[in-house]
Amino acid sequence: MAITTLINDFPPLPSQALKKRQPKGKKDSNKRQCPESVDRHVTLNDLPDELILEVLHYLPGIDMQDFQLHTLLSLSLTTRNLHRVVSDKIYSTYDSYFCEPFLFLRTLISNPRLGESVRHAKFRYGDDAHLERKRYSPTARDKKIIKEGMKALDFPDWKGWATRCNSVDVELDILHTAVMLHTPNLVTLDVEDGLISAYSKAKWPELIKKATTGEHFGHAHRFKALQSVRVDAQNMVIHHLVPILRLQSLRKLELRELSEVELDMRAPAELRRVLPPGCNNLEELVLEECSLRYDALETLIASARGLRSFRFDANQESVLLGGSGVMLQNALWRQQNCLESLDIYHDPWHKDDEDHLQHGGLEQFPVLRDLKCPLRMVVDVRSGASATVLEFLPPALETLCLTIRWGADEELFLHVLERMASEYSTTVPQLRRLQLNIQVPAEELDFDCERLVKAYSTTNVELIINLPSDSDDEEWGDWRTVSSDSDDSDDSSDEVDLYSDSDSSSDTNSENESG
């Protein structure tokens, strides 16, 4: 099919409209009226940019999330037009596993437009932090490029940063932070291992602190585009992350293995001073395997003006020292009018807990639509046979996912959920999905789940029951394991020699020519 047919059948895409030429004369007009040769075929060069980018999603070996760029790189070296189209995709993600940091930094300084293309950055530390490769030794020309790049930003201590980046045994964290200086449109940051050094703390939070204090920061950007941060904070406390939490552009924060169990009684007051209530625009907070004091958790949650989603993976031993499920709800109380999603893997309870605090509280969260939690968090098991669930559920609830934990005697109250099938419409009329993750072995489960199936078969609620063999890696699987992109790199993920010494200069020249 000829391109003219495509243009006549569909409105031109933006890039087509730009390429459309004005008539140059009668002769050219006659040529356009002649039928196209049947032997002429449409090539990639004839397609609009938007369609080329759509086609790329169907090619093998392309995974924008996992930074598998073999096919993109091959396409970029084919023609100048394809290089222009895909270059933004090639540089959209910086992953230190694949990219030698010094060479990537040198590339960004040599061609600032490429730095503007970077939207996502992933820093890896520790064992298996990157593919096997020799540490690059910068030449005198390399060092001059780095120095001039830092000087151009004119931020405080630019000379010190240039010196450190050019040193022989420069820390990876220094280079990664320098990359952040040259990526003004950075949207997401993922730090896979917070254990950077036994003797120093991470540099990138300090950089963000200096950029956001309002003081002189030269021509360097101030991270106004950064919206999402994920950190394996094994060697950090909340105080180290305060600059991130004061960032007004931040919308999502995910912390893993954060430890905040200081016994210094001055620490809570100091944390509240530097992280006052409502000081950020955080909408989604995820805490995974964190060890937190209650006052630290309360301060962290209260720092958000309007938290919409809270996800918490914890257990009795590692979280909320001296706390309870009710205390967790109290910590969320400031967010009651905006919280839409609550995901709790374990509430801090155990059988020997004799603390008879008042149950409930979630029923006073008016916009909470999605709730995932242990059954005990919404059923007062102390009431025995008269226990109910509806009085503790938020009125706007649409999806309810309950975990029936092994050893918590929660399976003894499945009859409460059976009774809910005939009563929910008056209390939670918008409920559309009920999922039960039953962790109790079948031989110990003294309840016939068919009773639940029958009870909900005549309702508008979709019932999903995951027994132990089904639920291990389903709803909660991603909480119990490290993200898959952090370990199993298959054979197709060999290092792309994208920022080698020989290629970076040619890429830069090609970019300049195509721009």
Q: What is the pLDDT of residues 350-401, one digit of tens each?
A: 554 444 444 567 889 999 999 998 888 888 777 766 778 888 899 999 999 9
Whether residue 147 lies inside any domain: the answer is: no
Is 134 within the bounds of a domain? no
Asked whether the beta carbons of 409 and 445 are under 8 A apart, the reply is no
Among 46, 70, 89, identify where a domain stops: 89
> What is the rounded CA–CA span in Å between residue 215 and residue 218?
9
User: Of 89, 106, 122, which residue is a domain's last?
Assistant: 89
- pLDDT above 70 as % of the chain: 69
* 385 found inside a domain: yes
Angle at which helices 172-181 and 140-153 pack, to 10 degrees? 50
Determine the length of the chain. Answer: 515
Structure tokens at 54: 């759509």
Q: Which tens digit of pLDDT belongs to each residue from 270-306?
A: 889 999 999 999 999 999 988 788 888 899 999 999 9
Distances (CA, A) of 436 to 347, 399, 431, 468, 471: 16, 11, 14, 11, 9
Place of tokens 């789940």: 449
Counted domains in the chain: 2
Q: Bigger pLDDT: 22 or 11?
A: 22
**Cα 280 to chain centroid, rounded:** 18
411 within some domain: yes
Among 74, 89, 104, where does a domain finish? Answer: 89
The C-alpha atoms of residue 338 and residue 351 are separated, in whole angstroms, by 33
Query: What is the band of 417 on the pLDDT scale with cuts at 50, 70, 90?
Result: very high
Lowest mean pLDDT among 151-155, 327-331, 360-364, 486-490: 486-490
**Residue 498 corresponds to which tokens in the numbers above?**
């994208």
61 occurs within a structural domain: yes
Stated as kind and residue range, the H or E segment containing 421 is none
Q: Tell me the β-bridge partners of 68.
A: 63
Does 220 reside within a domain? no
Domain that holds residue 8: 3-89
Cα(189)–Cα(123) distance, integer angstroms: 8
Q: What is the pLDDT of residue 240?
A: 86
122-151 average pLDDT score: 86
Residue 5's pLDDT band, with cuts at 50, 70 and 90, is very low
Question: Strand 259-260 and strand 284-288: pairing?
Answer: unpaired
**Token pair for 81:** 């037009």
In a domain, 458, yes or no: yes
Look at residue 194 in the predicted model and tell me its pLDDT.
Answer: 54
Quick one: 481 exposed, middle or buried, by C-beta within 10 A (0-12, 13-18, 19+)?
exposed
Angle, vertex CA 304, rays to CA 298 and CA 308, nearest 5 = 100
In a domain, 107, yes or no: no
Beta carbons within 8 Å of 304's beta carbon, 6+ residues apart = 278, 280, 281, 282, 283, 285, 335
